[in-house]
Chain A
């Protein structure tokens, strides 16, 4: 990776093992500076492997939606370039975008039209589909998102969850090679969120690459193969889920009646930053095999009640990368 401004994580680069020759989506130094000088997206290098389910994570205001708008040609990047399905944008938009299903910044439809009529409007705009199959495709798209019963209801009267589903249905009006879904589970109840996850798995199984953004790691962790993390307009981490987990070192937690002695043993082993609290001793493993820790503790005659190697969960990694708290990124 030719990152000129190395950050601890991006330096590692995307997972080289699974990267096929043509990524489904790639950006190089993609940047958007708004009038007034605010940099919303700052030199982002996305690499979304073909066939992956890529979770695009970041707190609200971290530049995810602005990035997605640039990807789809809605706004022009200040600098940088990007390819969709191997073709340079925005030049190839007319050829490529039909193969890309998109849900950008929440659903947007005509309030005075029914769900069905709204999809018919979108379908009518697509010159690459056969009008003769329009009804069948609209019907199936509504069925896949569970909206068949509300097809004739006006959009105005849809609940937030139903609106979100209709937005997904619009992305499913025709076969797609890439789906770009901005916060697809926003406004859905837990049941709806599960359904959307199942739908995403299904689409991925059919061969589509899925790029989905979320500010909630927990909502997409289960479906993603790859993750990119945005913070303050920059991509601070990218890779497979495993790559991301490895970012934070595993720690060992020892429950014992002799914390002071245990501390001494761990320090002697060269473990970094041991700390004791509530009859527990915690230390970063730093590559020391946990077997050696166990053996050393036993040799020192320390009564070990419990010894656990903790891999930090992804949420911890996410928070450590993006910061915690309610402050919206500027």
Chain B
């Protein structure tokens, strides 16, 4: 019997019962996100940030904290590991949110505009499942983006600056290994911040079939919130703005670590994810897919 005849058997390739849990779609989504050239280009650009920063500080002699800027910059010339922290501080206000805006804005709107949304829905992929998988893809990209910046920061820092035990901002010294763990924790915290933006972007992405519009709207939302966060007259609402909690990870570079603000930040972000995730779900599960 030829393969062709075999595959025409009425049960060829079918499972006896549908897989209760299947990670195939999730893996497929991750491949889609991480094989896409545009997304790889974004990660590439982000990888350049620590490099440029490191070279600039090396050439400029690192200013001993006089030139303003983040408090860590002066530390970099003493220990290369600080380049990782500084790179994350520099990229978090704009580059990282922009990267996540692009991928999250694309998520559902991109599928809708290409028509692949209907192809997936008739497979069928449940709309809730699709939304979860899409969100997981964006969060993974956010984590990868933060990790790329952190890892390149460590790498370039090791190449250009002294290493060894790290003297923290609070004055105490921890081993290099322990400091690497701190870098990892900072990366995870930054990724959690990006997961909040991801939820907003995912929701906006369910509203339109024009990916570019969703990307722009998400990025603008982040900028508007950042502006609101800088207006002192409305400081009463600041604790509820996600931007407020971005830089709480500075507490991870002190000893002992102060967890309060970071926990608060994570809770605020969890609320954002719940609210915008629900909105996205409500929208996608009732949407007429006619694109």
Q: Which of A101-124 contact B (CB under 8 A)?
A: 102, 104-113, 120-122, 124
Q: Is B288 an interface residue (CB 8 A)?
A: yes
Residues of A with C-beta under 8 A to B9: 175
Give Cα distance in the complex from A100 to B11, angstroms. Answer: 14
Report whether B10 and A129 are in contact in the complex, using a CB–CB cutoff of 8 Å: no
Give Cα distance in the complex from A76 to B8, angstroms. Answer: 33
Q: Is A310 an interface residue (CB 8 A)?
A: no
Report whether B32 and A125 are in contact in the complex, using a CB–CB cutoff of 8 Å: no
Q: Is A191 an interface residue (CB 8 A)?
A: no
Report whether A125 and B13 are in contact in the complex, using a CB–CB cutoff of 8 Å: no
Nearest to A143 among chain B residues (CB) is B4
Q: Is A41 an interface residue (CB 8 A)?
A: no
Report whether B28 and A74 are in contact in the complex, using a CB–CB cutoff of 8 Å: no
Chain A, residues 295-315, CB within 8 Å of chain B (1/0): the string is 000000000000000000000
Report whether B13 and A137 are in contact in the complex, using a CB–CB cutoff of 8 Å: yes
Chain A, residues 21-62, CB within 8 Å of chain B (1/0): the string is 000000000000000000000000000000000000000000
Report whether A105 and B115 are in contact in the complex, using a CB–CB cutoff of 8 Å: yes
Least CB distance from A186 to B in Å reads 14
Chain B, residues 1-38, CB within 8 Å of chain A (1/0): the string is 00110011111111100110010110110001000110
Give Cα distance in the complex from A248 to B40, angstroms. Answer: 63
Partner-binding segment picked from A10-18, A90-98, A251-259, A320-328: A90-98
Report whether B19 and A136 are in contact in the complex, using a CB–CB cutoff of 8 Å: no
A98-B12 in contact given A121-B32, A125-B28 (Cβ < 8 Å): no
Report whether A175 and B123 are in contact in the complex, using a CB–CB cutoff of 8 Å: no
Report whether A122 and B119 are in contact in the complex, using a CB–CB cutoff of 8 Å: yes
Partner of B290, one of A69, A144, A207: A69
Report whether A76 and B7 are in contact in the complex, using a CB–CB cutoff of 8 Å: no
Chain B, residues 97-129, CB within 8 Å of chain A (1/0): the string is 000000000000000001110111111111000
Report whether B119 and A206 are in contact in the complex, using a CB–CB cutoff of 8 Å: no
A136-B7 in contact given A75-B288, A130-B13 (Cβ < 8 Å): yes
Least CB distance from A302 to B in Å reads 60
Report whether A122 and B123 are in contact in the complex, using a CB–CB cutoff of 8 Å: yes
Report whether B115 and A108 are in contact in the complex, using a CB–CB cutoff of 8 Å: yes
Nearest to B13 among chain A residues (CB) is A133
Chain B, residues 63-86, CB within 8 Å of chain A (1/0): the string is 000000000000000000000000
Partner of A175, one of B14, B119, B124: B14
Residues of B with C-beta under 8 A to A131: 24
Give Cα distance in the complex from A11 to B260, angstroms. Answer: 75
Residues of B with C-beta under 8 A to A126: 123
Report whether B13 and A121 are in contact in the complex, using a CB–CB cutoff of 8 Å: no
Give Cα distance in the complex from A125 to B29, angstroms. Answer: 10
Report whether A74 and B288 are in contact in the complex, using a CB–CB cutoff of 8 Å: yes
Least CB distance from B226 to A in Å reads 32
Q: Is B185 an interface residue (CB 8 A)?
A: no
Report whether B25 and A129 are in contact in the complex, using a CB–CB cutoff of 8 Å: no
Q: Is A197 an interface residue (CB 8 A)?
A: no
Give Cα distance in the complex from A74 to B111, angstroms. Answer: 14
Residues of B with C-beta under 8 A to A136: 3, 7, 13
Least CB distance from A199 to B in Å reads 12
Partner of B13, one of A104, A107, A127, A174: A174
Report whether A98 and B3 are in contact in the complex, using a CB–CB cutoff of 8 Å: no
Residues of A with C-beta under 8 A to B32: 110, 113, 121
Q: Is A170 an interface residue (CB 8 A)?
A: yes
Report whether A207 and B121 are in contact in the complex, using a CB–CB cutoff of 8 Å: no
Report whether B288 and A129 are in contact in the complex, using a CB–CB cutoff of 8 Å: no
Name A residues whose Cβ lies closer than 8 Å to a Cβ of B: 66, 69, 72-76, 93-94, 97-98, 100, 102, 104-113, 120-122, 124-131, 133-134, 136-137, 139-140, 143-144, 170, 174-175, 206-207
Starting from the known contacts A127-B18, A175-B11, A175-B12, 9 additional A-B residue pairs (CB-CB under 8 Å) come to A73-B124, A74-B290, A102-B122, A104-B118, A121-B32, A122-B123, A128-B15, A139-B3, A174-B14
Name B residues whose Cβ lies closer than 8 Å to a Cβ of A: 3-4, 7-15, 18-19, 22, 24-25, 27-28, 32, 36-37, 114-116, 118-126, 286, 288-290
